[in-house]
Amino acid sequence: MTKVVNYISEAFQELKSNVTWPVWSEVQRLTIIVAIFSVVFALLTWGVDELFVKALEGFFNIIK
C-alpha cells in the first residue's frame, strides 16, 4: 500500500513542478476548435451514411 501512496504522491508532485500548463484563454480557444471540429466531423459522417443508405436503397430497388 505504501508503494501506491508513494506513486500517487510523486505523480501529483510531477504535475505541480514539471508540467507546463496552458493559459486559460488558450484552453478556451482550443476547446472551441475541438467542439467545432467534432460537430463538423459528425455532420460529415452523417452525410456519408445517408449517401450510402440512398445508394443501397437504389441498388436494391433496381434488383427487385
- One digit per residue, the tens of pLDDT, for the chain of length 64 reads 899 999 999 999 999 999 898 999 999 999 999 999 999 999 999 999 999 999 999 999 999 8
pLDDT at position 1: 86
CA distance 26 to 57: 46
The closest of 36, 19, 20 to 28, measured between CA atoms, is 36
Say what the pLDDT of residue 9 is. 95
Q: Can you give the pLDDT at residue 64?
A: 83
C-alpha cell at 44: 460529415
DSSP code per residue over the chain: -HHHHHHHHHHHHHHHHT--PPPHHHHHHHHHHHHHHHHHHHHHHHHHHHHHHHHHHHHHHHH-
pTM: 0.65
